[in-house]
Chains A and B, each alone.
Chain A
């Protein structure tokens, strides 16, 4: 019943998102601007010795997709608080649905809206003439890695929301997390050019693995070994954060 319950709730959230596509498109504006501005701003970096790709824009594309995930899912918990306050969560919890599907449908939906944005980003990148891999398997694999990161991050945001129980501190924590996580990854710059201490930060940063996995599939060599390692870490991150969020959720209702 877990799958069916999750599906019905997920369908509900998607339907509401679909009714207000403006917000999804608004969320897309920022990453698009970054893609355009940063590609131009840092275009000279591609001339550095040993730069992995032909242009900076090519290198940055997976990074901007992960940024979209971070900024798009960091506030996922806000709507959970709203649903709790409006009694919607109670309404779900008195039905005989599988307990885990309440949160799982939410994080799936958060990740899915981000995924819509990522697909649009890919299309824009194609139009911009970026050097994308054209193998469907590689593109799907790259997007799956980004989606999984979205699930993990949305779960983290939901869990923090349950702990904090207020929207304002949640926004503060979200802001506090997203920027360092992004800069301590290879989203904007290859790890080998970073100072050593930041390299160590990148090693324990799940964002870094998501970027690497997406990069090799979308614009890189399509190395399945690199992808496998990166995806495994991202999957573990998502599993741990979701388990924690769901545990916190169930405990808050005891």
Chain B
């Protein structure tokens, strides 16, 4: 339904917003572009919806070229932009009727279609009220309704839940699923919300700095990582090494690490494995204090492909004075702080001696969260930080150098002195370009609100039952 080949967009200022993006979206699919602000998501959406011409490359939507056959494309697509393009001084019905006219619908057919859309989105009661009196969620629904009047084959949603409250977001997700299932509309969605891409999309494309980093189902993308991790806290220190050996021998364990509080196990399916894990430990009478199951999130995937976390990418808003400041307005002002003469961006001293002293201090203070700057911290703990850091340009997440030669040297050194790695050297020398990510022990900061839990399930037991049924159904339709 969508076919994109080597798409490039260079703005007049010289900024390469989209840099050689290629992908396909099949009919009936929900495809999400996931990336931070300024990654090129919206630009791609604007090119595909004919609002902008690409600098190079081709794109076909619903069988037509977006540049040469833009009119045919427009007749077959719906577009919901970041800002709701509805007119607040008109009623919901008037808004729909106007857009219907612009799609060249007429008379009774148009009136019927408008009524259908109002009913579909539950807006019939407020149809003759000014859109200005609608809530944010209702305005969004009206906005989507206007883009569906002409029964498009593809629906483009550019950050559709930006600025909506939690309830409206979930509501909107349901509508997108419904649209996709009921009407068979192909959906192209851009978002910087990880959960949105994860829960809504059949396939996700991860985009950063105008380059498509990875495409796949959320499951496929997460499978590229190590899998789920189960942290088992065991109070009895002696039992830990036994537990380590026992679990290591179990068929489900992909990797077992000994940590300060207990052991960490990597498995394919955490939820199904927990029971087996308990059984293995119970056989030997090992008492478990607590268990934490962590699934990899799309943020972990993002980190893997881009080397930085989504929430660390700061939004660069183009200030209003930028138009007079020239094209390089952000060369001084917008740049991130990269340290000064004496210290790097993460606060570590540049001086080699001072740096060594500093790393020892850091290690003493928080051995868990700064493994990449702590030579004395156990390497095991460092590789336990699967969620936070995926290495930089020179070193991988586990601290091994990326350069083949350096790697060989490192492997040799590792064998010789048992764990002393050249990684700290590399880090201290190249510190200034490192974004100094700190390990993130618990992926996903959000722990739900009054109505929903962290995983998006409702807290109310009845609603939960309903949700389970629905998600079960939507998974079936995938």
> Which residues of A line the B interface, CB within 8 A?
1, 4-5, 8-9, 12, 15-16, 19-20, 85-97, 165-166, 253-254
In the complex, the answer to whether A253 meets B51 with C-beta atoms within 8 Å is: yes
Q: How far is the CA of A87 from the CA of B95 in the complex (A)?
A: 14
Q: List A contacts of B84 (CB < 8 A).
A: 86-87
In the complex, the answer to whether A16 meets B87 with C-beta atoms within 8 Å is: yes
Min C-beta distance of B187 to chain A, whole Å: 15
Question: 5 tightest A-B contacts by CB?
Answer: A91-B85, A87-B83, A87-B85, A95-B102, A8-B101
Give chain A's interface secondary structure class.
helix
Q: List A contacts of B81 (CB < 8 A).
A: 87, 90-91
In the complex, the answer to whether B52 meets A88 with C-beta atoms within 8 Å is: no
- Chain A residue nearest to B46 (CB atoms) is A90
Q: List A contacts of B320 (CB < 8 A).
A: 166
Q: How far is the CA of A16 from the CA of B86 in the complex (A)?
A: 13
Q: List B contacts of A87 (CB < 8 A).
A: 81-85
Q: What interface size band does chain B fall in? A: 20 to 34
> Which residues of B line the A interface, CB within 8 A?
49-53, 71, 74-75, 77-79, 81-87, 89-90, 94, 98-99, 101-104, 146-147, 320, 323
In the complex, the answer to whether A90 meets B89 with C-beta atoms within 8 Å is: no
In the complex, the answer to whether A96 meets B79 with C-beta atoms within 8 Å is: no
Other than the known A93-B51, A94-B78, what 13 A-B pairs have Cβ atoms closer than 8 Å?
A5-B102, A9-B102, A16-B89, A86-B84, A90-B51, A90-B81, A91-B81, A92-B102, A94-B51, A94-B77, A95-B74, A95-B102, A254-B52
Min C-beta distance of B240 to chain A, whole Å: 58
Q: List A contacts of B101 (CB < 8 A).
A: 4-5, 8
Q: How far is the CA of A12 from the CA of B86 in the complex (A)?
A: 12
B102's contact among A8, A86, A89, by CB below 8 Å, is which?
A8
Q: How far is the CA of A34 from the CA of B113 in the complex (A)?
A: 51
Q: List B contacts of A12 (CB < 8 A).
A: 87, 90, 94, 98
Min C-beta distance of B381 to chain A, whole Å: 49
Q: How far is the CA of A15 from the CA of B103 in the complex (A)?
A: 20
14 A–B pairs (Cβ distance < 8 Å), ordered by A: A12-B90, A15-B90, A16-B89, A85-B83, A90-B79, A91-B81, A91-B146, A94-B51, A94-B79, A94-B147, A95-B74, A95-B102, A96-B75, A166-B320
- Chain B residue nearest to A19 (CB atoms) is B89
Min C-beta distance of A106 to chain B, whole Å: 13
Min C-beta distance of B256 to chain A, whole Å: 53
Q: How far is the CA of A87 from the CA of B320 in the complex (A)?
A: 18
In the complex, the answer to whether A96 meets B71 with C-beta atoms within 8 Å is: yes
Q: How far is the CA of A93 from the CA of B101 in the complex (A)?
A: 13
A1's contact among B83, B87, B104, by CB below 8 Å, is which?
B104
Q: List B contacts of A90 (CB < 8 A).
A: 51, 79, 81, 85
A93-B51, A94-B79 known; A16 and B90 CB under 8 Å? yes
Min C-beta distance of A162 to chain B, whole Å: 12
- Chain A residue nearest to B101 (CB atoms) is A8
Min C-beta distance of B216 to chain A, whole Å: 29
